[in-house]
Amino acid sequence: MIRIQQLGQQLNATKSTLTIQDSRSGKKYEIPISNNSIKASDLEKIKDNNGSIIRSYDPGYMNTVNCTSKISFIDGDNGILEYRGYPIEQLAEKSTYLEVAFLLIYGELPTQLQYDKWCKKIQTHTFVHQDLYGLLSQFRYDAHPMGMVISSLSAVSTLHPEANPALSGQNIYADQKSRNKQIHRMIGSITTITALAYRNRIGRQPNQPHQQLGYVDNFLYMMDRLNESNYTPHPTIAKVLDILFILHAEHELNCSTSAVRHLTSSGVDIYTAIAGAAAALYGPKHGGANEAVLRMLEKIGSKQNIPQFIENVKNKKALLFGFGHRVYKSYDPRAKIVKQLAYQVFDLVGKDPLIEIALELENIALNDKYFKDRSLYPNVDFYTGIIYKALGFPTDMFPLLFAIPRISGWLAHWCEFLDDPENKIVRPRQNYQGYKTREYVPIDQRKQTDAYIHAPSTSFSTRRNVSVKK
């Protein structure tokens, strides 16, 4: 009987519709509702008197669903984040990053046999093509490591033409073995490429991967070993970084993940798609947010300056970083975990002075009506920058510590996109407000416009500019 009632409810749900009345024509339209969404293509039946189709306008995709996914779930109002149904709190406490990566990509937690084989495959692919060493060594000493890694990821596609749909056929990723090969290579090589970028940045020779160490330990080994024959990272540091990797592994359709799906829709190879996603993550509004928090706390300087800073924020004279989120309207569940990790790090390496400023700023903001009314709660970026700084990571490495774990989420969405028959090449529409058809005007008959075409000139051009003007 219960089953019959459930089927009845499902049938009623499928019959739900949205009634739209067009005031221009007086016509009514019934738009089917499924999963609390309507298909944008159903709006095409609504036309004006000239036959022009109505479009939905949504800059920034504030209220647009562009895929069906089973990877992660966010309830922003209640501060819930789940990977494949598992609460982030449980995964951070009980799991490891590589286990979570397996979960995200394949949908279930691995058995011991699967996990051991998975880890071995990933570790094997920490060894990268020799040409990448040469490529990374050619960057300037002051090149930003994120730029180096993005370029290197893109270059990987040229080293494996057999994995490029443009060269080897559009259906090569339909073969699960071929797809798995790229997954192993991508997750394995990203730590090596990042370590190479870091070592080049500080003028040191690269370290080869250590096959006896775990994923995070090996990453730290490649970054930090000097000439020790038995160097191993501190277990607390490795564990903290492993948990941070879990927290950053996936977060639904953010800017960089959407970029993966967008690029994948064209049929481009996975390495180019991941490089594009990393480029999106490079932006200060996305992967650079924790660095912005750090600079904000440094600018505040001391706890005594916080009240004035708060007033400046309210009066639009200062920006508050690390608070609020596009999705979360309550406390970011990841931020609670990161806050606990911060104390573990400080117990090991000493307390960073910025933590006192951060704690006081958080305390004031959480009890201030201005911030509560606007749902401005600490997000995951608020404490991660402080942790990375305490552990000695340069600020320009922060986006990379975000990118390494996020690759598993990107790969999960890549696989899901490939398997979803509903997906097509991404081609949004525009609201054109430019000129209508006009005739070409010969150059000697054109009027001067107010287009500003000047660009800044460096001091290196001073002598040349003077000489050219003489």
Strands 28-32 vs 17-21: parallel, antiparallel or unpaired: antiparallel
The CB density around residue 59, as the number of other CB atoms within 10 Å, is 7
| Nearest CA-CA partner of 218 in 201, 243, 194 | 194
Q: Determine contact, residues 277/174, Cβ cutoff 8 Å.
A: no
Out of 325, 352, 396, 413, the active site residue is 325
| Nearest CA-CA partner of 283 in 249, 300, 258, 308 | 258
| Nearest CA-CA partner of 383 in 420, 348, 336, 350 | 336
- Whole-angstrom Cα distance, residue 262 to residue 269? 12
Q: Determine contact, residues 333/86, Cβ cutoff 8 Å.
A: no
Q: Is residue 210 annotated as part of the catalytic site, yes or no? A: no
- 268 contact partners, CB below 8 Å, separation of at least 6: 165, 166
- Residue corresponding to tokens 């009980």: 94
The CB density around residue 462, as the number of other CB atoms within 10 Å, is 10
- Whole-angstrom Cα distance, residue 342 to residue 347? 9
- Whole-angstrom Cα distance, residue 295 to residue 375? 23
- Whole-angstrom Cα distance, residue 274 to residue 406? 10
Out of 129, 144, 160, 286, the active site residue is 286
- Whole-angstrom Cα distance, residue 302 to residue 359? 11
- Whole-angstrom Cα distance, residue 97 to residue 55? 42
Q: Is residue 381 annotated as part of the catalytic site, yes or no? A: yes
Out of 248, 381, 396, 413, the active site residue is 381
| Nearest CA-CA partner of 278 in 185, 182, 147, 155 | 147
Quick one: 399 exposed, middle or buried, by C-beta within 10 A (0-12, 13-18, 19+)? buried
**Residue positions annotated with a catalytic role:** 286, 325, 381
